[in-house]
Structure 1
Amino acid sequence: MNWFSAVVLGLVQGLTEFLPVSSSAHQRIVAALAGWPDPGAAFTAVTQLGTEAAVLIYFRRDIARIIVSWSKSLIDRDRRSDPDAKLGWYVIIGTIPIAVLGLVLQNPIETAFRDLRLVAAALIGFGIVLGIADRIAADDRPLTRLTTGNAIVYGFAQALALIPGVSRSGGTITAGLLMGYRREAAARYSFLLAIPAVLASGLLELTKIGNAGDNPAWGPTLLATAIAFIVGYAAIAWFLRYIATHRFTTFVIYRIALGAAVLALTGTGVLAN
């Protein structure tokens, strides 16, 4: 990986991580279109540390409040009914599915799941599901009404993002809409839920950066991660404002169009799988 491709892929990561369009799919597709090697699961996971740092800073007050309340609830039973304390537990519970499946499916995540045909099918299929959920959503349930069962559903929806093309935010937001949560509430919880999984995955994959073989070098990877942080911070603010007054129709159309284009390009041999 050279410095130019690192800049491009860092921009792609920052722009798409929080939108329901799948950042990992876009890194894979952009690299293929440019004729670059697949950046790989390790590079994707590490650059996600940049966008996750943006989440930590953007939601720093919410995160601090949740951590403090959750910590106090461990020794004070009266604090366990506090919405922030419960939200802390729900983030932990919702992280379990992706943690288990991520370990079990580590090999296909790095190989078979990155097949462009699968990526394209995921973009189309889950784009349609998002569109349906957006149309039938009650859009009236606040995050304070989150339950353990809902947290588990959110967790499995997030785990689907192990397949590039599904989208971590897209999967969890879709689940939230189907359960009746407001668009902003579903997106906010999606961002919070991703923190443990993304940090754990990124830190684990850090061990592969700079090693021999197809693994990316430290310099370009760090540059891409820094760019992803800067662009990602702006993307969070824009996305939360956008969904406050808009449906997800634009993203649904984009996902289907991109997926169809990738299928056509792979089917004609223009892009290699």
Structure 2
Amino acid sequence: MDWLQAIIIALIQGVTEFLPISSSAHLLFPSLLLGWPDQGLTFDVAVHLGSLLAVVIYLRSDLNAMVLGLWQWHQEKRLNQQATLALMLIVATLPAVFFGLVLKGWIQVNAREIWVVAVTTLVFGLLLGWADWRSRRQYQMATMSWRHTLCIGLAQALALLPGTSRSGITMTAALMLGYTREAAARFSFLMSIPVIIAASSLMALELATTKVAIVWAPMLIAFVVSFASAWLCIVLFMQVISRMGMWPFVVYRIVLGAGLCWLILPILN
């Protein structure tokens, strides 16, 4: 992989990781349009770590509060609001971990077709628009219940289907449950942290068991580009949804899904 490919793919990953538009759908385009090969495990680890650092820095106040809450719970033997939120994040992550372990092989064989990505991009994009339109938007993250946490966690498991968008489906679920756009987005970002850590750890473990030579310069570039683009997208996304809602991303997903359908027509024929 040359430097230009590393920069472009890391930029795609960073821009799409936290937006409700499906990173897997976008990562198809370099291979479909330019014939670029798969970037490999080392590159995947680098871009995921860059995205992880971006969301951790953005949410550092929330994370610090949860760590302090857990410490106070340990000291006072009394569960507090921030410790409860930290426990809720663990519960919300469990469905994705369980179904990921159970269905990983089936998904890799049956659900990584381009037409699957095109369909999920369209269907779940329209569902996001419906949820944003119908949501009561009356709950804040501080009022998150265990039942709602489990519902959003189960929704996150659907993101195992390529094209669904992890952030998109979790925000959709939160909006359907009546949370504000900002609360839905913030909780979705928090949920991404254990998921990215788990995915990066598995990839790093797999990488450690192989004898692949690592070229560090493109990996460092990928890490920096992924970090910078992911952080900027999170900041801009929160500003956009407070003014315009989710509809710019709904429209974009419809266009993207239609574009994928157009690209696969020659393959189907």
1:190 paired residue among 156, 179, 188:
188
What are the Cα deviations for residues 173-202 of structure 1, in whole angstroms up to 9, with x where unaligned? 000000000000000000011111111111
Query: TM-score, normalised to structure 2's length?
Result: 0.91
Distance 1:44 1:167, change over 3 A: farther
Identity, % of aligned positions = 37
Tell which deviates more after alignment, 176-185 or 108-117: 108-117
What are the Cα deviations for residues 241-260 of structure 1, in whole angstroms up to 9, with x where unaligned? 11111121111111111112
Distance 1:39 1:121, change over 3 A: farther
Tell which deviates more after alignment, 1-10 or 44-53: 44-53
1:224 paired residue among 215, 222, 225:
222
> Which letter maps to 1:23?
S
Partner Cα separation in structure 1 for residue 22 and residue 53 of structure 2: 18
Residue 68 of structure 1 corresponds to which residue in structure 2? 68
Distance 1:216 1:267, change over 3 A: farther
Residue 30 of structure 1 corresponds to which residue in structure 2? 30
Query: TM-score, normalised to structure 1's length?
Result: 0.89
Is contact 2:67–2:83 with CA below 8 Å preserved after alignment? yes
How many residues of Structure 1 are paired with residues of Structure 2 in the alignment? 268
Is contact 1:117–1:266 with CA below 8 Å preserved after alignment? yes
| Residue 12 of structure 2 is aligned to residue 7 of structure 1 | no
What are the Cα deviations for residues 20-54 of structure 1, in whole angstroms up to 9, with x where unaligned? 00112211233322211244688546522211110
1:161 paired residue among 145, 152, 159:
159
Is contact 1:31–1:37 with CA below 8 Å preserved after alignment? yes
1:63-212 → structure 2 map (5 Å cutoff): 63-78=63-78, 80=79, 82-209=80-207, 211=210
Is contact 1:169–1:190 with CA below 8 Å preserved after alignment? yes
Is contact 1:113–1:164 with CA below 8 Å preserved after alignment? yes
> Which letter maps to 2:22?
S
Distance 1:236 1:119, change over 3 A: same
Q: After the TM superposition, which segments of 4 or more aligned residues of structure 1 sit over 6 Å from their partners?
A: none
Tell which deviates more after alignment, 116-125 or 31-40: 31-40
What RMSD in Å do the two structures reach over aligned CA positions?
2.4
Tell which deviates more after alignment, 109-118 or 1-10: 109-118
Partner Cα separation in structure 1 for residue 102 and residue 70 of structure 2: 29
Tell which deviates more after alignment, 203-212 or 163-172: 203-212
Partner Cα separation in structure 1 for residue 214 and residue 45 of structure 2: 12
| Residue 35 of structure 2 is aligned to residue 21 of structure 1 | no
Partner Cα separation in structure 1 for residue 184 and residue 50 of structure 2: 22
Is contact 1:50–1:226 with CA below 8 Å preserved after alignment? yes
Is contact 2:127–2:172 with CA below 8 Å preserved after alignment? yes
SS of the residue corresponding to residue 159 of structure 1 reads helix
C-alpha displacement at 1:129, in angstroms?
Answer: 0.5
Is contact 2:41–2:207 with CA below 8 Å preserved after alignment? no
| Residue 256 of structure 2 is aligned to residue 258 of structure 1 | yes
Partner Cα separation in structure 2 for residue 57 and residue 121 of structure 1: 34
Partner Cα separation in structure 1 for residue 216 and residue 121 of structure 2: 30
What are the Cα deviations for residues 53-83 of structure 1, in whole angstroms up to 9, with x where unaligned? 10111111210111120233245333x1x22
Tell which deviates more after alignment, 68-77 or 150-159: 68-77
Distance 1:45 1:115, change over 3 A: farther
